[in-house]
A and B are shown apart, each in its own frame.
Chain A
Amino acid sequence: MDKVTPSRIAGNRLLFFALAMIGVFILLVPVSLTPGIFVWPEIMLLISCALVIRRPEYAPYWLIGFVFLISDFLLVRPIGLGAFIALLATEFLRRNRPAFVEMMFLSEWLGIFLLLLSAGVLRSVILFLTLAERIPLWAFGAQIGLSVVIYPLVVAFVGLVFKVTKIEETISHPVRRTV
């Protein structure tokens, strides 16, 4: 396989950042100002998850936190909450990476579904506890459903753009090394 040089890591981190900014940019273009029933999937979170499973060096925690913090600010979301949830989710993946790498794609998919669901529930619970405004339930369901449905596409996209695949060699788990 191709070697991971520091310059490649830096380039791909830059690419990750640029992708996130393009995503925010697209959401902000004032095309339609009418309230609609259209829900966006959480594409950036999906990209982060797929990348953390495949090649965690490309999406370090500080980059993920920074990117989601910017989106929180620009997209009129509760400030800091999106970054908090995204960090928790991706760090969970990073800790349990070996398991996810060994999984078949279907089980990974299921895992991502459960992760998104718990992240969404956690967000709702936090917003509920702080008496903040929550998105309606149907939108919550639709968002998670849509996100889960497009996850394979996101994985294909991530594989194509960052040129990463799921390889067991990339696991550098200390337990594994000592065995």
Chain B
Amino acid sequence: MATHNVDDVNFSRSLARIGVAIFLVFTLALFLLWRIDNPRAERIRTAMVNRVVPNMDWAMAPVSKAAQMVQDFQSYERIYSQNQELRRELQRMKAWREAALQLEQENARLLDLNKVKLNPKLSFISGKVLIDSGSRFRQSAIINLGRLDGVIEGWAAMDGLGLVGRIAGVGDSSSRVLFVTDTSSNIPVLIRPSNQRAILSGDNSDQPPLLFIENDQQIKPGDRIVTSGDGGVFPADLLVGQVTLGANSKYRTQLAADFRRLGFLRVIRYAPSAPINEPDRLIGPTLPSDIPLEDVDG
């Protein structure tokens, strides 16, 4: 140490000081960029995640498998009570099955009368959950579908049963699914059977609250919640969950999707039909504007 030249030490120290200052300014600038031009900054983040995460898959898979096995093992402890519960549930389900069969027959008859096609535009692609958000205050996950698979920002993601979230941030081969439980998620929903509209707004809890219910006298716990399709964000009639009554008598949502076992997600392909802007063009494709009207008539 004593052989060091004092000037030399001072020089490297002031160099470090400048470096620190530059680094501080740089990170602060990044933060401001994130704040001011959020979409662009998030695109940078998406590009980075897209580069890093698929390469980590080989390491990720065994670890998450092992953790899931531990969780599964823990559930053995509760197996007896679960068994009892399942028996009771099965009993109830039998009744429901009967009801469903009758309804199905009725539905088939009615459909036959109507010759209705059930939204043929909806199809889905399945993707695997790669990583979660890594933070307790952000509810999202990265799946292994991206722009190359044709995924478009805003599409809905479901598990087999219920709505999970929407695509927010698309990379080339991965994209982020923002869960309905995230605080920045707000989804227009419809409460059946009373057809009340409401907004399902995430708040980092596993039962997100229902806000702006039109008339909350008309709904009761157990009512089904589906997406309303308002605003053209989601297709209508995707199952979200059931109404429950939370603390201080606020209505909340028991989500139909099982977030504890979210290995794979279905991304619903959805192209909303063109909005109707003018009264004279209710039906039919948009015509190119350079064709004179006389030609069309002739």
Contacts and interface: CB of A to CB of B under 8 A. Distances in A.
Nearest to A88: B24
A35 B206 contact: yes
A66 to B, nearest CB: 9
A140 to B, nearest CB: 10
B135 A61 contact: no
Interface in A147-179: 172, 174, 177
B24 A84 contact: yes
A133 B185 CA distance: 13
B137 A79 contact: no
A174 B6 contact: yes
Interface in B173-209: 179, 181, 183-184, 204-206
A35 B16 contact: no
B24 A75 contact: no
Residue from the set A30, A40, A73 with the largest chain B CB neighbour count within 10 Å: A30
Interface string A17-35: 0000000110111111111
A158 to B, nearest CB: 22
B68 interface: yes
Given A74-B48, A76-B138, A34 B131 contact: no
Interface in A1-55: 24-25, 27-40
Q: Is the interface of A mostly helix, strand, loop or mixed?
A: loop
A35 B204 contact: yes
B28 interface: yes
Contacts of A37: 136
A79 B31 contact: yes
A65 B27 contact: yes
Interface in B57-72: 59-60, 63-64, 67-68, 71
Interface in B1-15: 1, 4, 6, 9-10
B129 interface: yes
A172 to B, nearest CB: 6
A133 B183 CA distance: 9
Question: How big is the A interface, by class?
Answer: 35 or more
Given A36-B136, A40-B136, A75-B134, A31 B67 contact: yes
B104 to A, nearest CB: 33
B237 interface: no
Interface string B23-49: 110111111111100000100110011
Contacts of B282: none
A25 to B, nearest CB: 7
Contacts of A91: 20
Residue from the set B131, B179, B184, B206 with the largest chain A CB neighbour count within 10 Å: B131
A36 B9 CA distance: 50
A74 B136 contact: no
A106 interface: no
Given A30-B132, A33-B129, A61-B23, A76 B68 contact: no
B265 to A, nearest CB: 10
B222 interface: no
A88 B21 CA distance: 10
B103 interface: no
B141 interface: yes
Contacts of A27: 134-135
Interface pairs A-B: 9 shortest CB-CB: A80-B30, A80-B31, A27-B134, A84-B27, A75-B134, A28-B131, A80-B27, A79-B34, A31-B67
Interface of B: 1, 4, 6, 9-10, 16, 19-20, 23-24, 26-35, 41, 44-45, 48-49, 52-53, 56, 59-60, 63-64, 67-68, 71, 129-141, 179, 181, 183-184, 204-206, 259-260, 262
27 contacts: A25-B63, A28-B53, A29-B60, A29-B64, A30-B64, A30-B262, A33-B179, A61-B23, A62-B23, A65-B27, A73-B45, A75-B133, A76-B135, A78-B34, A79-B41, A79-B44, A80-B34, A81-B34, A83-B27, A84-B24, A84-B27, A130-B31, A130-B32, A133-B184, A136-B137, A172-B1, A177-B6
